Amino acid sequence: MSTASHSSEHNLLPLIVEPEQLQEHLQAPELLIIDVPANGESYRQGHVPGAIYLDFRYLMRGEGPVPNDVPPVEFLSKLFSALGLTRDTHVVAYDDEGGGWAARLLWTLELIGHTRYSYLNGGIHAWRDAGLEESTEPTAPTPSEYHAEILNPSAAITCDEIKEKLSNKQFAIWDARSKAEYDGERGNNKHLGHIPGAVNMDWLDAMDRSRALRIRDYAELMTELNALGLTPDKEIATHCQSHHRSSFTWLVGKALGFNIRGYAGSWGEWGNRDDTPIEK
């Protein structure tokens, strides 16, 4: 699978980077490695040398009717300035859970038009699996002046846009939740079930448990996704409960060359409104 569409000719690293590739570039001055673990202890226990720590909660609004939505641009400007992002920075994100929070960071970068980014395939598990050196010394970021704007709004899709597109044969929805949530047997929203026509592949099923949570073989994934009706010619929206798991499926879709958009509201919004159609 080519990731050439990812303007790789002037990018330091490909969209999906292997531990050994990253190791070779650790000293590159334009590199900003960000560890976004689900478990905060993970960074203290050991991280990629030079990686800075990001609390994943900063990637979500945290308040209002849709707390998992994108934070306001003023907040994103402060956040990315504190992390030391510049226009020339190449960000490598990873985490300790196979890509959810790392991908949420990359999706946020995509939204603000910062396309110089990579995902460390498998995160800290793959780094350890490769036997590479870790650091337990925290790295302090070098602050910058970054002004975030939503330069690429099409990376996201809204509840209303999805409702409008439901009858469109060229539109598909990848629900990255568990089967029980998709079937409406589990969840703590006002309404349970799934968006009409959505297909279900649990985000965990896109990870290779035998290869330290790296993304599964592309050809196998492609075959399974195509069988579900998720094909590169369609516009695909992906969601979960809070656009954490589905940030990873957004990234997988991007790596496979799909035209894929993330629904930040996810089921947290869809399942709590009264004007959204639902199937069980």
Instruction: Quote the percentage of the chain above a pLDDT of 90.
Output: 96
**Neighbouring C-beta atoms of residue 149, cutoff 10 Å:** 12
Is 50 exceeded by the pLDDT of residue 153?
yes
Longest dimension (CA), the chain: 53
Catalytic residues, by residue number, are 240
Give the pLDDT confidence score for residue 280 in this predicted structure. 92
Instruction: Reply yes or no on domain 4-152 having CATH 3.30.470.20.
Output: no
List the chain domain ranges: 4-152, 156-270
Mean pLDDT calculated for residue range 119-124: 98
pLDDT digits (tens, 9 = 90+) for 89-108: 999 999 999 999 999 999 99
pLDDT digits (tens, 9 = 90+) for 220-254: 999 999 999 999 999 999 999 999 999 999 999 99
5: confidence class by pLDDT, cuts 50, 70, 90: very low
Q: Which two tokens stand for residue 41?
A: 């202890």
Quote the mean pLDDT of the chain: 96
C-alpha distance from residue 145 to each of 79, 92, 116, 141 (Å): 10, 19, 17, 13
H, E, C per residue of the chain: CCCHHHCHHHCCCCCEECHHHHHHCCCCCCEEEEECCCCCHHHHHCECCCCEECCHHHHCCCCCCCCCCCCCHHHHHHHHHHHCCCCCCEEEEECCCCCHHHHHHHHHHHHCCCCCEEEECCHHHHHHHCCCCCECCCCCCCCCCCCCCCCCHHHECCHHHHHHHCCCCCEEEEECCCHHHHCCCCCCCCCCCECCCCEECCHHHHEEHHHCCEECCHHHHHHHHHHCCCCCCCEEEEECCCCCHHHHHHHHHHHCCCEEEECCCHHHHHCCCCCCCCEC
Q: What is the CATH number of domain 156-270?
A: 3.40.250.10
pLDDT digits (tens, 9 = 90+) for 19-71: 999 999 999 999 999 999 999 899 999 999 999 999 999 999 999 999 999 99
